[in-house]
Amino acid sequence: MSVILRLVQQFQPSKKQEFLALEKQFAALEHQGTLPKGERMLPIAGREAANTIIWQGRFENLCAAEAALKIFETNSEHTELANQQLPYFKDAWVEFYEVLDM
């Protein structure tokens, strides 16, 4: 069973540029292989507000998705960037989706 892990983060609209600048640094860590790779999305239309960024990655199972979360929690470079980004946050949550093979 494949799983999609989504990290949904709402940021202060007035701090969009600062927030996204830090996201580029997270992406650089992904490209280096330090963090699990994913894709980032900003909503154009939909339920989520425009000041929301969604990171999502596909994993072969729930254990692998949970292991990715553990890497985010324990990696010192991720923690350092997250601490810089924290003042810009309004809300954040984690979602898991089962990919249906139909």
pLDDT of residue 89: 95
* Separation of alpha carbons 95 and 49, rounded Å: 17
pLDDT of residue 4: 98
pLDDT of residue 82: 96
Q: Which domain holds residue 49?
A: 3-98
How many distinct structural domains can be found in the chain?
1
How many residues in the chain?
102
CATH number of the CATH domain containing 67: 3.30.70.100
pLDDT of residue 55: 98
Name residue, tokens 């650089």: 28
pLDDT-derived band of residue 90, with 50, 70 and 90 as boundaries?
very high
pLDDT in tens, 29-81: 999 999 999 999 999 999 999 999 999 999 999 999 999 999 999 999 999 99
DSSP-H helix ranges across 1-102: 16-31, 62-74, 76-85
77, with CB counted inside 10 A (0-12, 13-18, 19+), is: middle
